[in-house]
Amino acid sequence: MMKLKIEQGISLYLEQITSVDNRTMATLDSYGTQLNQLKTWLNQKKINYVNDITIDDLFDFIYGYDHDHAPSSTNHMITVIRGFYDYLHEYYCLTNIALKINLKKAERKEKKILNDQAIERLLTIDDESNIKEYADVTILEIIYGCGLRVSECTGLTMNQLHLDDGTISVVGKGNKTRVIPLSDTSRHRLIHYLDFIRPKWNKNHLTNVFITKAGKPLQRNLVYTMLKKRLLDKGIVANSGALKGLSPHSLRHALATHMVNQDTDPRIVQQILGHESIATTQIYTHKTVDELQKAYDQCMPRS
């Protein structure tokens, strides 16, 4: 095998997962960040070529990484390294030493829950003449009401809205599109935002549905900041310390929990959230896989 520099191997791998595997930009950024951490560590040990990396080097890196990170983060790093070596093995015939790295056992942490009362307070507009508040709540309303990932919300464009039909088309992981119905409240607020707020802000003629007052595309960090401020302002959490574990993803989790508690067909929950398996849906709910599987089987005409 030819000598391949680590940074070159990483670049080729990231190009592969983007152009061939159709991974999202968020995945690309995540994988790139983690592989560059590995590269920096190896370079400090004067290892510059993938051919020279040993299994002991990988074990040492993972050991140090695990010391400073949660088990789930370590497992993600291991998964990224495994994917990288799968690529190197397939395309450059490099021995797949990463197969010897086992994932760590991690206890599942209970997610913080925003109950129905908290959601109601969060999404109640105190002053409808305050266009900033109206816009903020509309964004949170769409994330919650449609079960969106924050990246799906910030990436939403005007051609994905079908307001006459009361639906939106969302491009999720793997560039898969799903159609999600809008509640009456979500549709009403979205129309008001589009008619009376967005035109005032859209100085740059963007196609993004959600933009800032300065006329720039909405960024995910702004959604995090806005949600946490509103949780504090509305008295839903007592102090900034209580915000730990709460994020825009908590709204998606809250919708899934609400739907399951209302005995919604698990297939519908899967479709709304864009999950491929019933086991993934279980992560966002408080039902066991067995309970969800039983409900799924009861709904299926064929076993």
**What is the reported pLDDT for 302?**
44
Which class would CATH give 116-297? mainly alpha
**What is the reported pLDDT for 111?**
61
CATH code of domain 6-100: 1.10.150.130
User: Does residue 241 contact residue 252 with C-beta atoms inside 8 Å?
Assistant: no
CATH 1.10.150.130 intervals, the chain: 6-100
**What is the reported pLDDT for 267?**
79
> Which residue, 224, 207, 23, is CA-closest to 143?
224
- 50, HSE (Cβ side, Cα atoms, 13 Å): 29
Dihedral over alpha carbons 3, 4, 6, 7 (to 10 degrees): 140
**What is the reported pLDDT for 290?**
52
Q: Which of 189, 252, 253, 287 is catalytic?
A: 252
Residue 173 annotated in active site? yes
DSSP state, residue 207: -
Look-up: residue for tokens 């799906």? 152
Residue 198 annotated in active site? no
Q: Which of 144, 187, 284, 287 is catalytic?
A: 284
CATH 1.10.443.10 intervals, the chain: 116-297
Cα(206)–Cα(213) distance, integer angstroms? 13
With 0.75 as the threshold, say if the pTM is over it.
no
Q: Which of 23, 39, 149, 187 is catalytic?
A: 149
Q: Which of 89, 220, 249, 286 is catalytic?
A: 249
> Which residue, 75, 242, 230, is CA-closest to 144?
230
Look-up: residue for tokens 């707020």? 197
User: Which tokens is 259 given?
Assistant: 């739907």
**What is the reported pLDDT for 198?**
98
Residue 105 annotated in active site? no
**What is the reported pLDDT for 298?**
58
pLDDT in tens, the chain (303 residues): 578 999 999 999 999 998 887 788 888 888 999 999 999 999 999 999 999 999 999 999 998 888 888 788 899 999 999 999 999 999 988 999 999 898 877 555 556 779 999 999 999 999 999 999 999 999 999 999 999 999 999 999 999 999 999 999 998 877 789 999 999 999 999 999 999 999 999 999 999 999 999 999 999 999 999 999 999 999 999 999 889 889 999 999 899 888 888 887 877 888 888 876 655 665 555 554 455 455 545 554 444
Residue 87 annotated in active site? no
Q: Which of 23, 187, 189, 275 is catalytic?
A: 275
Residue 149 annotated in active site? yes
User: Does residue 82 contact residue 99 with C-beta atoms inside 8 Å?
Assistant: yes
Q: For the chain, what is the radius of gyration of the CA atoms?
A: 22
Q: Which of 173, 178, 230, 267 is catalytic?
A: 173
Residue 89 annotated in active site? no
